Structure formats: structure tokens, C-alpha cells
Amino acid sequence: MRWVPGHKGIEGNELADQEAKKAARGDSSPVEDLPGWLRAKLPISLSRLRQTLNATITTRAHEEWKDSPRAVKMDRIDEDMPSKKYCKIAYSLPRRHASLLIQLRTEHVPLRRHLHRMQLVDSPNCQHCDRGVREMVFHYLLECPGYRNARARLEREIGPAAKSIRHLLNSTETVRALFRFVHDTGRFTATYGDLALAEPEERGKKGKKKTPGRGRHVEGRQETGDG
Ligand SMILES: [Zn+2]
């Protein structure tokens, strides 16, 4: 079979491509079934092998993610998790902010509903208002009157996006404002300490710097520990 470039989508060509991919995975006919002139080993294309491996790993990661219980919750926020978008946001943040962000996105966050499930507090209800509602991420970010002032500031900064949990937890443009809100509420100070992110101006106009060996953008992070 022969693969002809520029003929993507044509049945015979696709078949040739599939067979070539199989061969790259080592999945070819038994040597004894082949005519003599085809029995010599073919050279393996390293780049094709790498491509095939990467594609297999990505597919498997997506399949495993779709089957996981967290996927159901995450669908509200990010339909394509684990997504490049989340990685982009997370890599722009110090580690403990990235960690808190994933906790907020999965509801595995030190708010009382989760803490109650972990049997660490006696009630799942919010202690910052008297509404008798479970303290969950939605309540914390969008509802609780205990954080009215912080929320008003958030709304002034980012407008209608402040009323969308999906936007708040899934946007590079508003993530800074989100953490200012989180910092203003003081709700996670006991667990995470001071969560104010430095302003972009303060972090140096030169922009992104990389710490050797870490592979993370740090941009003048203020904390000294790993968090
Ligand atoms: Zn409340």
C-alpha cells in the first residue's frame, strides 16, 4: 500500500495510514506469512513512534479522566479537562495558588461541606452567614452575604464575569481578580496564608522569568516556601 500526501480523507489513503501506524507500533503480519522479499526488518521511524506513543498516552489520559468521578463535577467548569487552558492558567500561578484553584474546581477545598465529609468539622453549613446552607464553592464565590464587600470589588473589577463560576475558575484574564477576592475574604488564610498575587507592574515589566529546573513561571513570587 502507498500513502499519498495531500489525499487526507480518501479511503485507500486513510487505510494505508492506519496500516503504517500499526506497523510503527510493531503490529504487523507474522514474518512467516510474508513473502521472502518483505521479511527483512523495516527501519522504524523514531518520530512516528514518538507521535504514536504521545497520541496513545493522550487518548488514554482522556479516557481515564472521563471515567473518573471528578469529571462529572468538572464538566460544569471545563468540558475539556485535563485541558491546555487549565494548564495555561496553572502555570502562570505560584504553586499554592494553582493548588487552590484545582481544589475550587473540584470542590475538594477546605470549605465546610468538604471538611464535614472528611469528618473534620461538625456541620457542613456556612458559618459566615445565617442562611443554613452548605458551604460549597458556589455559595462561597457567588452567594454568601458574608463576603459582600469582597464580591462588590470583584464585580467592579471584572463585571458580569464575577457572576459566572465557570468563568471565574477557568479564565486567565480574571484569575488575578479571583485570587484578590479569595485573599480579601480571608477564608483560606489559615490553610494557605496570604494569597494576594503581586500586580503585574510590581512583578517587573520585563515579564516572564523562569526558574531553572522548575519549569514554572514565577514572575517575582513573594513567598519563600513551596506552599
Ligand atoms: Zn454563607
CB 216 within 8 A of CB 226: no
- The alpha carbon of 103 and the centre of ligand 1 are apart by a number of angstroms equal to 19
Residues 124 and 134: beta-carbon distance below 8 Å: yes
Cβ atoms of 106 and 70 within 8 Å: the answer is yes
If you measure from the C-alpha of residue 127 to the centroid of ligand 1, how many angstroms do you get, rounded to a whole number? Answer: 6
Distance from the alpha carbon of residue 159 to the mean position of ligand 1, in angstroms: 22
Cα 116 to middle of ligand 1, angstroms: 15
What is the pLDDT, as a whole number, of residue 70?
62
Tell how far the Cα of 124 is from the centroid of ligand 1, in angstroms. Answer: 11
* CA 31 – ligand 1 centroid, Å: 70
Q: How far is the CA of 210 from the centre of ligand 1 (A)?
A: 39
CA of 104 to the centre of ligand 1 (A): 16
Q: How confident is the model at residue 211 (pLDDT cuts 50, 70, 90)?
A: very low
**Average pLDDT for 122-145:** 95
Answer yes or no: is pLDDT of 168 > 70.
yes
Between the CA of 140 and the centroid of ligand 1 the distance, in Å, is 6
186 Cα to the center of ligand 1, angstroms: 14
Q: What per-residue confidence (pLDDT) applies to 84?
A: 76
- Tens digit of each residue's pLDDT (9 = 90 or more) over 75-108: 556 555 557 777 888 888 999 999 999 999 999 9
Question: Which parts of the chain fold into alpha helices (H)?
Answer: 11-24, 46-67, 69-74, 84-91, 95-106, 112-117, 137-138, 148-158, 165-168, 175-185, 189-192
